[in-house]
Amino acid sequence: MYDAKCMIPNPYIVGIPVNEPNKFFGRESLLSFIEDNLRQNIKFILLHGHRRIGKSSVLKQIPNRIAPSEFAFVHYDLQHHAQSDLCEILHDVSEEIVNQLDLNQDNIKLPTQKELKTDVNIFSSHFLPQIYKKIGGRKLVLLLDEFDVICDDTNNILEKGLGLFPYLEKLLKQQEKLFIISVAGRHPSDLKNLIKLFRSAPYQKIGSLD
């Protein structure tokens, strides 16, 4: 006979992303995959999975599971930026980097959208060097959620976002201490141009929990 007293409460949360480490369960092999690739200096990692499968929760937990003494993690959600241009996104990313790394009091000069429209390279040549200096020997890792939101139905990402993806690909080649972990809601086979652009990038599926 079934005994309700023996029932183990289900620890898994469906809905909002899990921020608290003590409420996050599983995904050990996935987190090990991410950490191993970061330690091997893999610059771009793509995670993919169905909607509501826990992708955002994984991104939220990476800073809690991977050595903060070696990496400085900054989370940025592209969900509401499908129509944003490159300069707007870079400006917002700059603000998030400063805020999330608690550098507001360190006299970091943030690039304005106007300045970026005049010369987008000030993000890499002026802003990022200030951040590297402040974080010391750590590597800067951008955790980009909803990475495929800028893609259109034809998957013509090379012409979307005013060059966001080609810019990031070029940026990773230039910046030794910059890394990106991205999350997409589509399978890599549906993101052929993205995979082609970030050649040899490892990707991993975020599937159902057992």
Query: Which residues on neighbouring strands pair with residue 204, listed in sequence order?
Result: 47
d(CA 163, CA 67): 32
> What is the pTM for the complete model shown?
0.80
Map out the domains of the chain with their CATH numbers: 43-205 (3.40.50.300)
pLDDT in tens, 128-163: 999 999 999 999 999 998 876 665 444 444 444 447
Among the residue ranges 49-53, 104-108, 111-115, the one predicted with the least confidence is 49-53
Give residue 20's pLDDT: 56
d(CA 61, CA 207): 16
Give residue 152's pLDDT: 46
Give residue 208's pLDDT: 64
pLDDT in tens, 3-45: 555 666 655 556 556 555 555 555 677 788 888 889 999 999 8
Specify whether the CB–CB gap between 198 and 46 falls below 8 A.
yes
Specify whether the CB–CB gap between 45 and 182 falls below 8 A.
yes
